[in-house]
Structure 1
Amino acid sequence: MKLSKNNAGLEAEKLAATFLANHGLKLVTQNYHCKYGEIDLIMRHAKTLVFIEVRLRSNSQFGSAGASITPQKQQKLILTAQHYLQQHGDCQCRFDAILMNKAEASHIEWVRNAFDA
């Protein structure tokens, strides 16, 4: 599937949600926003709530998709997830990443427990 320039991020999130649903996860919400930041996808995997960062790189000239999840970005994701849990109830959770390269959009790398909270 070729991703358009204007909607590449949204298309990547849709691809990721479909990919994860095909692996047994259920979508809870998409693009959760609060004052700390945004979480692309929140899904449930059995009894675990999974906060998912979707990263799409158009090329690797400035590093890989995974390398773009900096410690600062991780901290924003953690704060946003904590806010979500305060609003919706505390439960077991983890942080995953879906990594894609625009040139190979059909290749999806799923990194479970991408970083520790």
Structure 2
Amino acid sequence: MAYPNETGKEAEEQALEWLKGRGYEWVASNFRYRHAEIDLIMKHKGILVFVEVKFRSGTGYGYAEEFVDYRKRQLIIRAADHYIHQTDWHHDIRFDIVGVYRDQKGNVGFKHFQDAFY
């Protein structure tokens, strides 16, 4: 059995490859600012996309998007604001959630919520 940190890291890597396969360009991973972390920063069609990746081994306890609560969203927004100022970004941004789901047979699926919050 994988530990939560290992499982989360694996899910981030899978989400990264999945997004790249859909035309997203990787910018950064695990960007930290104070108590916040942004899992993935990507570019897509001229938009800077901040991605929160959530892993679920089933939906019995809820869907991935339900685990990005108000506090988590505020931390991500604060870190994104810092990143935008640090890199002098002057174009559009977006906040996405990618749910990575593994069923009992080990099959992995993805659910992408574009513009999930702000």
Do these two structures clear the TM 0.5 threshold for a shared fold by scoring above it? Answer: yes
Match of 2:52, SS state, is: strand
**Residues 69-93 of structure 1 deviation map (CA, whole Å, 9 limit, x = unaligned):** 1111111111110010010113210
Conserved 8 A contact 1:13-1:40: yes
Cα pair distance change 1:43/1:69, threshold 3 Å? same
CA distance in structure 1 between the aligned counterparts of 2:78 and 2:111, rounded to whole angstroms: 24
Output the amino acid matched with 1:34.
Y
Is the 1:41–1:52 Cα contact (8 Å) retained in structure 2? yes
Structure 1 residue ranges without an equivalent (≥5):
none
Residue aligning to 2:22: 23
1:24-63 → structure 2 map (5 Å cutoff): 24-63=23-62
Query: How many residues are paired up?
Result: 113
The CA RMSD measured in Å over matched residues stands at 1.5
Deviation at 1:60, TM superposition (A): 3.1
Structure 1 residue 36: Cα displacement? 4.1
5+ long unaligned stretches in structure 2: none
CA contact (8 A) 2:102 2:109 kept: no
| TM-score (ref. length: structure 2) | 0.88
Name the % identity. Answer: 33
Note the alpha carbon deviations across 1:27-74, whole angstroms, 9 max, x for none: 000000011400000001021000000001234343221100111111
CA contact (8 A) 2:49 2:96 kept: yes
2:99 partner SS: strand
State how far apart, in whole Å, the 1-side matches of 2:20 and 2:9 are: 16
Q: Could you tell me how far apart the structure 2 residues matched to 1:47 and 1:54 are? A: 21
Displacement, 1:11?
Answer: 0.7
Report the more deviating stretch, 17-26 or 54-63: 54-63
Partner of 1:114: 116
